[in-house]
Amino acid sequence: MVRAPTLESEIAFCYEVKAVECAKEVKRLLNRKGIEARYIVEYPDVYAIRLNDGNLPEWFRKSFSEIKPRSVREVLGFDEGDLRYRFGGRGQGKWPYDVRKRKPYWCPALRRLSIEVYYERLEYWKALERLFNRHVDGVVREFVELVPRSLKDIWDLDRGGVKLALLDGKTLKSKLREIAEIKSRSYNGLSTLQLVNGDTLLEVVGGREAEYIANLLSGLLFRFGCIPYYVELPTTHAEYLKLPRALYVGVGLKKVGEEYAKGLAVLMTGRGNVVGYVDKEFHVRSRSMEFLEERELDEFVNEIKAKLESYRNNMSKDPELIVVVRSRRFHEIEWRTLRKNFASHWLRLSSKELLLMSTFKLKNITIGPGRTVEVGRRLMSGGLHGVWLVQLSKFKSAVKVSYFYTGNDATLPLAAYIYLRSLDFTSLTQNRTSLPPVKYARNYLKWMYLSQ
Amino acid sequence: MFGLWCTRQYRKTVMRGLSHLFDRGLLETCFRELATRLRREEDELCRVALLGWMDFVARAHGGELYRQFKELLPNALGLRRSDGSVLINCREKLICNEPLLCLKAYLFCKKRWMEKKLRSLAAGTPYAEVARVLLGEGDIPEECGGRSENCAIKC
């Protein structure tokens, strides 16, 4: 990562170094000179440069200064490997994969959980049963039972309760519309129907069986309303301790027609359980997905606010912090509307803080495993705006975390990214980059769209 | 179940200055045994439960044992910085947002507001069970090895 404090005329002539137009020009010129560069939209004087052999020409070094990545642990005092996972019955693990060995942290009822497994082919069920018995410890099997059911008709899946469907890959394609309709009807913030491609399941046998079954089990427990594990934040830094008691709002947006998009907000607690959702249709510009009518976004935010207030009324105290997350960049109108609504209404009610953040995977930009770079930060009216790049130890490339925070600790969004990521009970894989409430919102939107 | 009655009442008993009623030899044996178990215990929540009982025993005994306990506590809780200072600020309310940290902080700070926070932990969770130990209302959980005969203190 490099910053361009000054640009010499031999590189590019720009009136305003911090403008996107200038960054485009610089990128073109650098590419022409054989240097692959990408700029960061929010801070266009910062570029990611590909170092092929580590040597950059002298003229380059005169115009650009390097921003050295630091270790995540150095910045936060911990990294994702320091998180600890607390299960029920005094179990603590370094990995969420221990979910197959230990009772869940918390469940709404202490009764045994029965999961109906609808299989299209008997061999799918046999494979699952074998994996379950081989990799799930007795203490968990006493608590969770799989009840096999032969699938006669796809509409068998359209029943209450948590279900697991083991379907043929061809069925998943040929009956996509029906499956999407059943799936979207099963949602109540989170779907109670788990779909599994039976052919993929058969391929897992003899491979990464334990990881596969841990992922599946964690997702199923979550669909029952359980919290499979509690994530212990390894810090005493007061600012980061707001995160376990924060309320998270994941916002997803999907285009459903030429000029329409569906917006969905999923509300999640700092323990990872989903407590509500709000959906709305928007008029958008056909290509850019920008909102055409600010009024519609106002209404959406007001509905989210109403949900937040109803959640707040049911709780004994206010959340310490409200975190609004989405997977793509907030549009200027969105930032403004969200800030206006939350800041003037919600914050007036609770006097608590607000963090807006969006995350985006930067393909082909690497900064090194376990490393982070603060691209920039600036003080705006009412808070801090900034951008971090972070590449956790198993990421293939960096993730951009762009934020607006009404507090004054610029490292909180980075801590929030790591903590929130660990609350994804539907995927335990170490290289996942998406954040749970947004992922849940996007999945719901996908099924809603497919069913129409 | 005599010992269990004792744990429920220990705070009041110790605070009322009735500690002379405890068998001091047994208190010392119990403390040493708990200290040995603590060295082997890796689960942090179990460590907190053991320390909760050591706290009770050390207070009941008083004197040298209590001094030893106070000295070992920050290290045993993993709250000591490399420069020797302690990581926890006893007035920081946000500490109790993280239940494990709140349990540790309560052992270290013994603040009334922390007690309230511990009582509000969701029932049925492992943290709530250990909170009851620290509040003098529960025994060392079976998963942590329970309380041995050496610690069957008679009141």
Distance CA A158, CA B3 (A): 54
Answer yes or no: are the C-beta atoms of A357 and A323 closer than 8 Å.
Answer: yes
Q: Does B71 touch chain A (CB under 8 A)?
A: no
CA distance B125 to chain A (A): 6
Under a CB-based contact definition with an 8 Å cutoff, are residues A186 and A192 in contact? yes
Residue A236 has pLDDT above 60, yes or no: yes
Residue B97 at interface with chain A, using a CB cutoff of 8 Å: yes
Closest CA to A2 of A17, A15, A21: A17
Answer whether A436's CB lies under 8 Å from A420's CB: yes
Q: Reply yes or no on whether the pLDDT at A433 is more than 60.
A: yes
Shortest Cα distance from B62 to chain A (angstroms)?
A: 30
Number of Cβ atoms within 10 Å of the Cβ of A158? 16
- Kindly identify which residue of chain A lies nearest to residue B45, measuring between CA atoms: A90
pLDDT above 50 (res B3): no
Burial class (CB in 10 A: 0-12, 13-18, 19+), A370: buried
Is B86 an interface residue toward A (CB < 8 Å)?
no
* Residue B105 within any structural domain of the chain: no
Give the rounded percent of residues in chain A with a pLDDT score beyond 70: 88
* pLDDT over 50 (residue B111): yes
**Mean pLDDT of the A9-20 span:** 61
Spatial distance between the Cα atoms of A238 and B4, rounded to a whole number of angstroms = 36
Q: Which of B79, B89, B126 shows the shortest C-beta gap to A88?
A: B126
Work out whether strand A37-40 and strand A43-49 pair parallel, antiparallel, or are unpaired: antiparallel
What is the distance in angstroms between the Cα of B135 and the nearest Cα belonging to chain A? 18
Instruction: Look at residue A351 in the predicted model and tell me its pLDDT.
Output: 56
* b/e code A381-407 from CB counts within 10 Å (16+ = b): eebbbbbbbbbbeebeebbbbbbbbbb
pLDDT tier at B48 (50, 70, 90 boundaries)? Answer: very high
User: If you average pLDDT over each of A172-176, A347-351, B122-126, which comes out highest?
Assistant: A172-176
* Termini Cα distance of chain B: 12
- In a domain, residue B103? The reply is no
Mutation target among A105, A235, A236, A239 for the B interface, most CBs of B within 10 A: A236
- pLDDT score of B1: 34
Cα A255 to Cα A188, A194, A245, distances in angstroms: 21, 24, 33
Q: Are A165 and A196 in contact (CB under 8 A)?
A: yes
- The count of domains in chain B is 1
Instruction: Band the pLDDT of B122: cuts 50, 70, 90.
Output: confident
Give the 3-state DSSP-derived string for A398-411, with helices as H, strands as E and coil as C: CEEEEEEECCCCCC
- Residues in A lying within 8 Å of B, measured between beta carbons: 84, 86-92, 105-106, 110, 230, 232-233, 236, 238, 241-245, 316, 320
Query: Which of A122-136, A143-157, A342-356, A426-440 has the least mean pLDDT?
Result: A342-356
State the average pLDDT over residues A28-47.
Answer: 85
For residue B107, is it within any domain?
A: no
A404 Cβ partners below 8 Å, 6+ apart? Answer: A330, A335, A339, A355, A356, A357, A380, A383, A384, A385
Q: From CA A442, how far away is CA A449, in angstroms rounded?
A: 10
Asked if B100 reaches chain A (Cβ–Cβ under 8 Å), the answer is: yes
Task: Compute the distance between CA of residue A111 and CA of residue A104 in angstroms, rounded to an integer.
Answer: 12
Give the Cβ contact number of residue A446 at 10 Å: 15
| Nearest CB partner across the interface for A238, out of B79, B94, B141 | B94
> What is the domain extent for residue B63?
2-88+123-151
CA A130 – CA A109 distance, rounded (Å): 27
> Is pLDDT at A16 greater than 80 in this prediction?
no
Contacts of A241 in chain B (CB under 8 A): 94-95, 97-98, 101
**Can you give the pLDDT at residue B4?**
38
Let me know if residue B84 belongs to a domain: yes
Give, in order, the Cα–Cα distances in Å from B117 to each of A156, A248, A316, B79, B114. Answer: 46, 22, 12, 20, 5
Kindly give, in sequence order, each residue whose CB lies less than 8 Å from that of residue B66, ignoring residues fewer than 6 positions away.
B58, B59
Range with the lowest mean pLDDT among A96-100, A215-219, B92-96, B123-127? B123-127
CA distance A105 to chain B (A): 6
Q: What is the pLDDT of residues A319-328, one digit of tens each?
A: 888 898 987 7
| A403 or A11, greater pLDDT | A403
Confirm whether B93 is domain-assigned. Answer: no
Per-residue tokens: A17: 């170094």
Mean pLDDT of A75-94: 91
Residue-by-residue DSSP string for A171-230: HHHHTHHHHHHHHHHTBSSSBSEEEEEHHHHHHHTTSSHHHHHHHHHHHHHHHTT-B--E
- B38 within a domain of the structure (yes/no): yes
Residues from chain B that touch A243, judged by Cβ atoms under 8 A, are 97
Task: List the beta bridge partners of residue A401.
Answer: A359, A388
List the structure tokens of B114. Answer: 């922390």
Closest CA to A96 of A219, A244, A236: A219
Contact A234, A224 (CB under 8 A): no
- Please say if the pLDDT value at position A318 is more than 70: yes
Count of Cβ atoms closer than 10 Å to residue A306 Cβ:
12
Q: What is the pLDDT of residue A178?
A: 93
B94 CB within 8 Å of a chain A CB: yes
Burial of B12 (C-beta count, 10 Å sphere; 0-12/13-18/19+): exposed
C-beta atoms surrounding A314 within 10 Å: 8
Asked whether residue B112 is domain-assigned, the answer is: no
Question: Residue A421: helix, strand or coil by DSSP?
Answer: helix
pLDDT-above-90 percentage for chain A: 51
- Both tokens of A147, joined, read 């009840």
Q: Which of A29-33, A217-221, A351-355 has the lowest mean pLDDT?
A: A351-355
Q: What is chain B written as a DSSP string?
A: -HHHHHHHHHHHHHHTT-GGGS-HHHHHHHHHHHHHHHHH---HHHHHHHHHHHHHHHHHH-HHHHHHHHHHHHHHTT-B-TTS-BS--TT-GGGGGSHHHHHHHHHHH--HHHHHHHHTSPTTSHHHHHHHHHTTSSPPPGGGT---GGG----
- For A381: left if phi > 0, alpha if psi spans -120 to 50, otherwise beta; the answer is beta
Q: Give me the interface pTM, i.e. the ipTM.
A: 0.83
Q: Are A43 and A5 in contact (CB under 8 A)?
A: no
* Cβ B150 vs Cβ B26: under 8 Å: yes
Give the mean pLDDT of chain A: 86
pLDDT beyond 60 at B5: no
Question: Phi-psi bin for B110: left (phi > 0), alpha (psi -120 to 50), beta?
Answer: left
- By C-alpha distance, the chain A residue nearest B105 is A236
**Of A420, A446, A92, which Cα lies nearest the Cα of B130?**
A92
pLDDT score of A230 more than 50: yes
Query: Is 50 exceeded by the pLDDT of residue A402?
Result: yes
Would the pLDDT of A310 be above 80? yes
Highest mean pLDDT among A299-303, A353-357, B97-101: B97-101
Beta carbons of A325 and A359 less than 8 angstroms apart: yes
Instruction: Mean pLDDT check: name the lowest of A56-60, A92-96, A277-281, B18-22.
Output: B18-22
Mean pLDDT of A147-161: 91
Which residue reads 């391929």 in tokens?
A203
pLDDT confidence tier of residue A333, bands split at 50, 70 and 90: low
Q: Is the pLDDT of residue A215 over 90?
A: yes
Is B109 touching A (CB cutoff 8 A)?
Answer: no
Instruction: Identify the CA nearest to A72 among candidates A449, A342, A408, A419.
Output: A419
Residue A14: what pLDDT?
66
Q: How confident is the model at residue A237 (pLDDT cuts 50, 70, 90)?
A: very high
Please give the torsion angle defined by the CA atoms of residues A165, A166, A170 and A174, in that order, rounded to the nearest 10 degrees.
-10
CB-nearest to A90 from B92, B95, B143 is B143
In the predicted structure, residue A314 carries a pLDDT above the cut 90: no
Residues in chain A within 8 Å Cβ distance of B79: 236
- Look up residue A69 and give its two tokens: 């990545």
Answer yes or no: is pLDDT of A203 > 70. yes
For residue A228, give the chain B residue with the closest CA: B125
Q: Does residue B118 lie in a domain region?
A: no
In degrees and rounded to multiples of 5, residue A262 shows phi and psi of: -105, 130
